[in-house]
Amino acid sequence: MKDFSEIKEQVKAKIDEVTDGSSLSDFWQSFLGKAGVIQGLMKEMKNVPPEEKPLFGKAVNDVREWAQELYREKQEEIKQIELKHRYEKEAVDVTLPAFSGSTGNLHPITLIKQQMIDVFAGMGFEIFEGPEIEDDDHNFTRLNVLKDHPSRDMQDTFWLTEDLLLRTHTSPGQIRTMDTHKPPIKVLVPGKVFRSDSDATHSPMFSQMEGLVVDKGITLCDLQGMLDKFVGEIFGSGTKTRLRPSYFPFTEPSVEVDVSCFECGGKGCSLCKGTGWIEVLGGGVVNKKVLENCGIDSEIYSGLAFGIGIERITMLKYGISNMGVLFRNEMDFLEQFKA
Amino acid sequence: MKILQSWLKEYVDIDIPAEKLVEKLFGSGFEVEETIYLGKDIEKIVVGEVTSIEKYEGTHLYICHVNCGSYGEDNLILTGADNVFKGAKVPAAVVGAKLPNGLEIQPRKMKDMMSYGMLCSGGELGIDDNWIKGADVNGILILPQDAPVGEDIVKYLELDDYVFDISITANRPDCQSVLGIAREVAAFLRKPLKEPDYSYNPTEITKDEISVEVIDKDLCPRYLGHYIYDVKHFESPQWMKRRLSVCGFGAIDAIVDITNYVLLEIGQPMHAYDLDTLDGKSIVVRRAKNGEKIVTLDEKERLLTPENLLICDKEKGVGLAGIMGGLNSEIEPTTSEILLEAAKFRRDNVRKTSRSLGLHTDAAARFEKGVDEYGVEKGMERALNLAEKLGCAKVGKSHFDVTAGENTGSRKFDVTVEKINSVLGIEVPQSEIVSILKALAFEVSENGTTLTVTVPRYREDVENYQDIAEEVIREYGYDKVVPTFLKTAEVTSGGLNYLQAKELSVKKYFCSMGFYEIQTLAMYSSRELDMLLLPEDAPERKCIELLNPITDNLSIMRTNMSPCMINVIADNVKNDRSEGRFFELANIYLPKSLPLTEAPEERKILCLGAFGANESFFTVKAAIESFALTNGLDLRFERGERSYLHPGITADIFCENRKIGVIGKLKYEIIDSLNIAEGKKSDLNIILAEIDYSAVQELYKKEIKYTPDNGFAKIKRDLSLILDKKTLCVEVEDEIKSASGLVSSVSLFDHYENEKLGFGKKSLSFSITFADKADVTDEQADSEMEKIISNLSEKIGAVRR
């Protein structure tokens, strides 16, 4: 039986010479093509005795398949080499800068406002934005800041008419919410407010965020519990609150809320002026007169309210000591708040 | 408000150090803003006796031998002062002593002799004549002969004392006095309050001619007058002068000093009228007449209106109620009969008058916050007691009490322990509540858990259970509050609503397009409107004015955002920035009528600004188009016009046939007018856009519905046109759409201008898609194209290229 070893030698020698697509194609022509050596073997079939024909046929087939397998292996090998070359050729300097434009970013006050909203949104607060031009009724009277009361002086008001004014706080949002919503109420009122003073720590326009919860059984403990969660989220877990007595006409009891200094952990540093505490907001239990002014039964419902100065938190968070810089809109300042 | 610790101690036994007291006051709602130790930085200064003194020849100095007791019986001290004499008692600073001015005493060679100490003047100890007589002399402070040798000067001069500057919240006018603070201290220390001595023994002398009439009782609900006579004029005793001076009052004359002393001690402003100067010996309390004038004690003439309450006699004003007396009724060294006044004036009226006249006095400060009728009564009693005690006047029998009958009794109401604790959220035991209220001088009677409380008359702020709850927690301690997290509240869903979330995403979108968010003030001045070259009748000039602006620069509410943007860009150019992009999303304020009669409209405007060599109308327009595409808004731009924008590079922006904004290039003459260096102006390029975001919010798609492809064949054809350069692209698109009902979309893909096209011509190439409710055939497309071309040729003279 012929073992075609000679042909195999030839195939082997030839395939080893193959280095690229065209020599591979030559290989096919020489051995596996219609005019190729292996195809030529079939022509010898007629010279093979009939009883040997099946064996001969199988042997030729074996050689063909063997050669085809070599061909496929080589083909894959060459493909890999070619890809490798292509990739090498196409390689670029990936460190070349690509984006020739620039991106802006949100104002730091917006960034902090949004962080604060996110915290309270998670607690189930809706967000309401009231008008910036208010009337005496919403800004003062129904918040129990009565006409003859000196607490009106606590906030220097920009008046537009005898009755209309630039809101001095976001607290009118409490009234507007309670006028249109029945308890349970959890609302956050962020927005701009205006007071007629201007110096290093005051701007005639600034931002506040009012919070109001009205439901059954709301207490001073709930105010502190909720604010503990808030300051934990904003200033880092472990930040604690401290309540101390204060006065706002629309809450009773009223408290100032201090947070333990997140810079020194309460040991005392320049940020907290050595006290370990930083004043951040005011709040209290909603004065029943305010609930009643909005038609809410104070025998059934009670509430808590708080007001946070957004600039204050922004300055504390970002280490800004001069409020004026927030409103100067210098790019050197603005571009530092990409986050 | 300044409070002297030793004065406080007269009414309550304070057995804790000053530091602790400050902490306790803070805890109960009285923040001590400043604590001043009067003996601060005074060390090793003692009472010394000059045992011998001789002139140091050839110098201006004197050689003194000073006995300082335990600090040395013979200290050699040189002094330059001329008023020292043998046997004089003086403050002697021995070696190692410290003075308030920072000086430390060391042995010192003066001329050829060593001096072992220093004799001190009053000024060097930080005190004046009000503290001790002789402190103001030019020389050494000569102490009384009975001063004990060797005693620490801090102790001897009673400088071992503190002044607390306490801030009082608006709800506690009753604490605007030493007594008021003493009540609070007594409550938290649970010590008895020792009330001042209010007793006096009136003589039988009356003055029947005196009459007191209150015409405007609404402004003066209570007026007390008392007749005193045989007035003697002398200086107040040292202890009174000291207390007055620490609180900022100069000593004048005993009877006048008493009125100030009572103001500080009881919180009740008092006034003394020289009876001789009162026409008809009458007091009439009435509103001033329009144009009426009074010369006040500061010798200034005040022009009044009926808004001002005036204390008058039969003829004329003699005092500005609650603020300052009149010069015409001032106490003179010759005054012998006085009508003392203690009154309650309505706080907002005093405030208004004090503000409008720019006259701020200690009396006004107290009246503005409110005095109570208990204080009116007690103030008068105390003043009479002191007049008698100091011997500066005899107290007559004539007493006048005019009342509107408002607040003469005590408030009394029921409150339950449960209700109090329901406010606080903790269980304060009933016994504790009762004990706290009693310490605060409330009368309490218990019936089960119901407490009937009688509020002290000076606590006009306490009206209901919430006020009681605050009193309780203030004393019980805020540190006893146990944080809970809305344990009884219903669960609610929260977060930004659709438009709020959208607004945030719009802001972030413009950030990603290179714009920095800015925040500018909502008010500016008419100069900003002038800058925009707005004509006199421009709607933007109809703006809301502030009645009380802090500065002219911030006197109107903005009606247009562009000036703010221009100013921000100018500031950044000044800071050597050569390019930048900004946006602001904020309100403008549009009055419905002027003068304002109702709340104006507040519209949210998205204002964009870009500057720099790489910016153009189209770079900013691209940002707006991209924003519109992202948010499903179909915008249309048409040539527009604004007084401040380039006439050829300005477009109105429309959405669904609604004008929603404008974009354009800032006029050169406005850039010229900006306050920036000339060199930076020449190639400054500013693009502005204002988009009515309130309108955009209404135009956002309410919901999205998916439309599947109808499967019918569409055909796309290109069309290149040559047309007049002035023809707007949008006009061509309109004509293409109007000529064929099958056009589903038109988009420009090429645009160029070239001399070969002919003078004043340009070429625009559009890609047009035809669609129908069936397959569109080539024949159809051909015939539609013909319709389009002939329409374009007819309407705008366009030729197919």
- What CATH number should be reported for the domain whose range is B715-800? 3.30.70.380
Given the structure tokens 């500031």, which residue do they identify?
B571
* CB pairs A-B closer than 8 Å: 259
Euclidean distance between the first and the last CA atom of chain A, given in angstroms as a whole number: 81
| Structural fold of domain B43-156 | OB fold (Dihydrolipoamide Acetyltransferase, E2P) (2.40.50)
Separation in Å, CA B651 to CA A64, B530, B620, B628, B730: 76, 22, 12, 16, 12
- Same domain for A236 and A142: yes
- Same domain for A122 and A64: no
- Same domain for A62 and A180: no
Give the burial string for B158-186 (b: 16+ CB within 10 Å, else e): ebebbbbebebbbbbbbbbbbbbbbbbbb
- Residues 6 or more apart from B759 whose CB is under 8 A from it? none
Tell me how far the alpha carbon of residue B747 is from its chain's centroid. Answer: 58
pLDDT value of residue A150 = 75
A2 has a pLDDT exceeding 70: no
Other beta carbons within 10 angstroms of residue A280's beta carbon come to 22
Q: How far A234 CA sits from the closest chain B CA (Å)?
A: 17
Given the structure tokens 């009773």, which residue do they identify?
A252
- What CATH number should be reported for the domain whose range is B498-699? 3.30.930.10
Query: Judging by DSSP bridges, how do beta strands A185-194 and A164-166 pair with one another?
Result: unpaired
Query: For B492, which of A134, A184, A203 is closest by C-beta distance?
Result: A184
pLDDT digit string, tens, across residues B144-185: 999 999 999 999 999 999 999 999 998 999 999 999 999 999
Euclidean distance between the first and the last CA atom of chain B, given in angstroms as a whole number: 89
Give the burial string for A154-173 (b: 16+ CB within 10 Å, else e): bbebbebeeebbbbbbbbbb
Nearest CA in chain B to A125: B494
Task: Give the mean model confidence (pLDDT) for residues B737-758.
Answer: 90
Task: Give the mean model confidence (pLDDT) for residues A226-255.
Answer: 94
- Residues 6 or more apart from A33 whose CB is under 8 A from it? A39
Instruction: State in words which class domain B2-38+162-189 has.
Output: alpha beta
Dihedral (Cα; A114, A115, A120, A125), 10-degree rounding: 10
pLDDT value of residue B111 = 87
The DSSP 8-state label assigned to residue B693 in this structure reads: H
Report whether B415 contacts B468 (CB < 8 A): yes
Interface of A with B in 31-60 (CB under 8 A): none
The second-level CATH assignment, the architecture, of B417-480 is 2-Layer Sandwich (3.30)
- Of B355, B428, B466, B493, which to mutate for an interface test with A (greatest number of A Cβ within 10 Å)? B466
The share of chain B scoring above pLDDT 70, in percent, equals 100
Take residue B639 and report the two structure tokens written for it: 């040539």
Beta-bridge mates of residue A185: A214
pLDDT value of residue A46 = 83
Q: Which helix (H) or strand (E) holds B178?
A: helix B178-189
Closest CA to B110 of B133, B85, B80, B83: B80
By the CB < 8 Å criterion, does A279 face chain B?
A: no
Task: Give the mean model confidence (pLDDT) for residues B576-604.
Answer: 95
pLDDT digit string, tens, across residues B68-107: 999 999 999 999 999 999 999 999 999 999 999 889 999 9
Interface of B with A in 601-630 (CB under 8 A): 602
Closest CA to B702 of B421, B400, B499: B499
- Same domain for A72 and A193: no
Residue B94 three-state SS? strand
Report whether B532 contacts B644 (CB < 8 A): yes
Report whether B262 contacts B249 (CB < 8 A): no
User: Cβ contact (<8 Å) for A285 and B469?
Assistant: yes
Report whether B21 contacts B13 (CB < 8 A): no
- Residues 6 or more apart from B286 whose CB is under 8 A from it? B215, B216, B309, B310, B312
Report whether B640 contacts B707 (CB < 8 A): no
- Residues 6 or more apart from B357 whose CB is under 8 A from it? B302, B308, B320, B323
Query: For B494, which of A103, A124, A255 is closest by C-beta distance?
Result: A124
User: Cβ contact (<8 Å) for A221 and B483?
Assistant: yes
Residue A315 lies in a domain: yes
pLDDT digit string, tens, across residues B369-392: 999 999 999 999 999 999 999 999
Residue A318 lies in a domain: yes
A63 has a pLDDT exceeding 90: no
Query: Judging by DSSP bridges, how do beta strands B282-287 and B211-214 pair with one another?
Result: parallel
pLDDT value of residue B408 = 62
Closest CA to A21 of A86, A87, A78, A80: A78
Amino acid at B91: P
Give the burial string for B43-52 (b: 16+ CB within 10 Å, else e): bbbbbbbbbe
Strand order in the sheet with B89-98: B75-79, B62-67, B43-55, B89-98, B117-119
Report whether B624 contacts B636 (CB < 8 A): no
User: Which of A90, A120, A153 represents a domain boundary (last residue)?
Assistant: A90
Residues spanned by the domain of A181: 108-334
Give the burial string for B332-349 (b: 16+ CB within 10 Å, else e): eeebebbbbbbbbbbbbb
Residue A96 lies in a domain: no
A172 has a pLDDT exceeding 80: yes
Nearest CA in chain A to B482: A221
- Same domain for A79 and A167: no
User: Cβ contact (<8 Å) for B424 and A101?
Assistant: no
Take residue A252 and report the two structure tokens written for it: 């009773």
pLDDT value of residue B396 = 95
Take residue A233 and report the two structure tokens written for it: 């989220």
Tell me how far the alpha carbon of residue B695 is from its chain's centroid. Answer: 36
Radius of gyration of chain A (CA): 41
Tell me how far the alpha carbon of residue A20 is from its chain's centroid. Answer: 52
Beta-bridge mates of residue B414: B452
pLDDT digit string, tens, across residues B655-703: 999 999 999 999 999 999 999 998 888 889 999 999 999 999 999 988 8
By the CB < 8 Å criterion, does B473 face chain A?
A: yes
- Same domain for A295 and A154: yes
- Same domain for A269 and A219: yes
User: Which of A22, A55, A90 represents a domain boundary (last residue)?
Assistant: A90
Take residue B640 and report the two structure tokens written for it: 């527009």
Residue A120 lies in a domain: yes
Query: For B422, which of A166, A219, A224 is closest by C-beta distance?
Result: A219
pLDDT value of residue B64 = 93
A311 has a pLDDT exceeding 60: yes
Interface of A with B in 293-322 (CB under 8 A): 302
Query: Judging by DSSP bridges, how do beta strands A185-194 and A126-127 pair with one another?
Result: parallel
Residue A48 lies in a domain: yes
Report whether B621 contacts B637 (CB < 8 A): yes
- Residues 6 or more apart from B47 whose CB is under 8 A from it? B68, B69, B89, B90, B91, B92, B143, B147, B148, B149, B150, B151, B153, B156
By the CB < 8 Å criterion, does A271 face chain B?
A: no
pLDDT value of residue A270 = 85
Query: What is the tally of structural domains in chain A?
Result: 2
- Same domain for A314 and A171: yes
Task: Give the mean model confidence (pLDDT) for residues B222-228.
Answer: 96
d(CA B356, CA B410): 35
B556 has a pLDDT exceeding 70: yes
pLDDT digit string, tens, across residues B461-480: 999 999 999 999 999 999 99
- Residues 6 or more apart from B267 whose CB is under 8 A from it? B173, B174, B175, B176, B177, B179, B180, B366, B371, B375, B379
- Of B470, B543, B559, which to mutate for an interface test with A (greatest number of A Cβ within 10 Å)? B470
| Structural fold of domain B211-403 | Phenylalanyl-tRNA Synthetase; Chain B, domain 3 (3.50.40)
| pTM for the whole structure | 0.87
User: Cβ contact (<8 Å) for A122 and B484?
Assistant: no
Q: Which helix (H) or strand (E) holds B447?
A: strand B443-447
pLDDT value of residue B630 = 93
Residues of B in contact with A134 (CB under 8 A): 599
User: Which conformational region is residue B213 in: left (phi greater than 0), alpha (psi within -120 to 50 degrees), or beta?
Assistant: beta
Q: Where are the domains of chain B?
A: 2-38+162-189, 43-156, 211-403, 417-480, 498-699, 715-800
Residue B749 three-state SS? strand
pLDDT value of residue B407 = 62
Residue A71 lies in a domain: yes
Task: Give the mean model confidence (pLDDT) for residues B588-610.
Answer: 95
- Same domain for A296 and A158: yes
- Same domain for A85 and A157: no
Q: Is there a shared CATH topology between the B2-38+162-189 domain and the B417-480 domain?
A: yes
Take residue B729 and report the two structure tokens written for it: 């692209």
User: Cβ contact (<8 Å) for A285 and B510?
Assistant: no
Amino acid at A317: K
- Same domain for A162 and A58: no
Given the structure tokens 């260096």, which residue do they identify?
B677
By the CB < 8 Å criterion, does A192 face chain B?
A: yes
pLDDT value of residue A4 = 80
User: Cβ contact (<8 Å) for A217 and B489?
Assistant: yes
User: Which of A46, A63, A90 represents a domain boundary (last residue)?
Assistant: A90
d(CA B24, CA B10): 19
Q: How far A94 CA sits from the closest chain B CA (Å)?
A: 23
Given the structure tokens 């406080």, which residue do they identify?
B8
Separation in Å, CA B7 to CA B166, B246, B362, B386: 15, 11, 19, 16
Confidence band for A211, pLDDT divided at 50, 70 and 90: very high
Confidence band for B489, pLDDT divided at 50, 70 and 90: confident
d(CA B220, CA B592): 41
- Of A105, A160, A306, A335, which to mutate for an interface test with B (greatest number of B Cβ within 10 Å)? A160
Query: Judging by DSSP bridges, how do beta strands B516-517 and B580-590 pair with one another?
Result: parallel
**Angle between helices A108-122 and A220-235 in degrees, nearest 10:** 130
The DSSP 8-state label assigned to residue A29 in this structure reads: I
Residue A99 lies in a domain: no
- Same domain for A162 and A85: no
Confidence band for B134, pLDDT divided at 50, 70 and 90: confident
Confidence band for A55, pLDDT divided at 50, 70 and 90: confident
Average of per-residue pLDDT values in chain B: 94
**Helices and strands of chain B, counted as H and E runs:** 21, 37
Q: How far A173 CA sits from the closest chain B CA (Å)?
A: 15
Report whether B585 contacts B693 (CB < 8 A): yes
